[in-house]
């Protein structure tokens, strides 16, 4: 049964759907407005973030343990005096590299000051500092150990310790006392390998 009414808001029965004339006009206007609309083409998904470089967990633990052991001192390792300049380079490196280091020609990328720490505290702080520096792929750092002028008859404790500890760290390729402007014999520039 089809019913027709006069007036714009009266229902018009068309099969089972009932729609007012005004609704029908709006529907037709909408269809006309969107007649030229086409779906957007499918875009490829955005690139995902790059995955971090895999690092062997046990290798890191082994490196940490080796670094810790390398920083241990033995009683016969106390060889430097208060005013002595510290110099060290691994075999195979050119002597001019050590000369450039002594003159301060390398950019210091980070530093640690060990003043006021006990030897045990300094060893741990230096271990963490070197580990972080290697993780950040730094090439030249400064270690301030002090001159040991107030160490009494024992001599410069931290200076001696730093001299020994750094020699035992494989990643340290060279170190030299800094020029006077950067601490003189109370600090060392340290070159780290690229590994």
Contact present, 145 and 181 (Cβ < 8 Å) = no
pLDDT confidence tier of residue 152, bands split at 50, 70 and 90? low
Q: Is the Cβ–Cβ distance between 146 and 186 less than 8 Å? A: yes
- Angle of helix 119-135 versus helix 57-70 axis, rounded to 10: 140
Of 78, 70, 80, the C-alpha closest to 185 is 80
Q: Is the pLDDT of residue 10 over 60?
A: no
Distance CA 111, CA 92 (A): 26
Q: List the beta bridge partners of residue 174.
A: 89, 191
Between 36 and 80, where is the model more confident? 36
Q: Which of 130, 19, 11, 149 is nearest to 68 (CA)?
A: 130
pLDDT band per the 50, 70, 90 thresholds, residue 124: very high
Binned at pLDDT 50, 70 and 90, residue 134 comes out as very high
Look up the CATH architecture of domain 57-192: 2-Layer Sandwich (3.30)
pLDDT digits (tens, 9 = 90+) for 30-58: 888 888 888 888 888 877 777 766 665 55
For residue 160, the Cα-to-chain-centroid distance in whole angstroms is 30
For the chain, the straight-line distance linking the first and the last C-alpha, in angstroms and rounded, comes to: 89
Q: List the domain boundaries for the chain.
A: 1-38, 57-192
Q: Is 112 helix (H, G, I), strand (E, B) or coil?
A: strand
Kindly report the pTM of this predicted structure: 0.58
Report the pLDDT averaged over residues 85-91: 89
Q: Which residues pair with 89 in a beta bridge?
A: 174
């Amino acid at each position: 049964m089809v019913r027709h009414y006069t007036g714009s808001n009266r229902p018009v029965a068309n099969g089972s759907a009932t729609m007012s004339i005004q609704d029908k006009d709006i529907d037709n206007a909408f269809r006309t407005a969107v007649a030229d609309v086409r779906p957007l083409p499918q875009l490829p998904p955005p690139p995902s973030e790059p995955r971090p470089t895999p690092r062997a967990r046990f290798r890191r633990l082994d490196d940490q343990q080796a670094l810790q052991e390398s920083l241990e001192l033995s009683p016969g390792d106390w060889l430097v005096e208060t005013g002595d300049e510290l110099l060290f380079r691994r075999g195979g490196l050119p002597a001019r590299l050590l000369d450039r280091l002594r003159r301060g020609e390398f950019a210091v990328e980070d530093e640690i000051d060990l003043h006021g720490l006990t030897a045990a505290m300094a060893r741990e702080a230096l271990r963490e500092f070197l580990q972080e520096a290697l993780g950040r792929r730094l090439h030249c750092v400064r270690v301030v150990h002090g001159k040991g002028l107030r160490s009494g008859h024992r001599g410069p404790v931290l200076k001696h310790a730093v001299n020994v500890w750094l020699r035992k760290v494989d990643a340290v390729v060279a170190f030299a006392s800094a020029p006077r402007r950067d601490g003189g014999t109370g600090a060392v520039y340290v070159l780290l390998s690229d590994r």
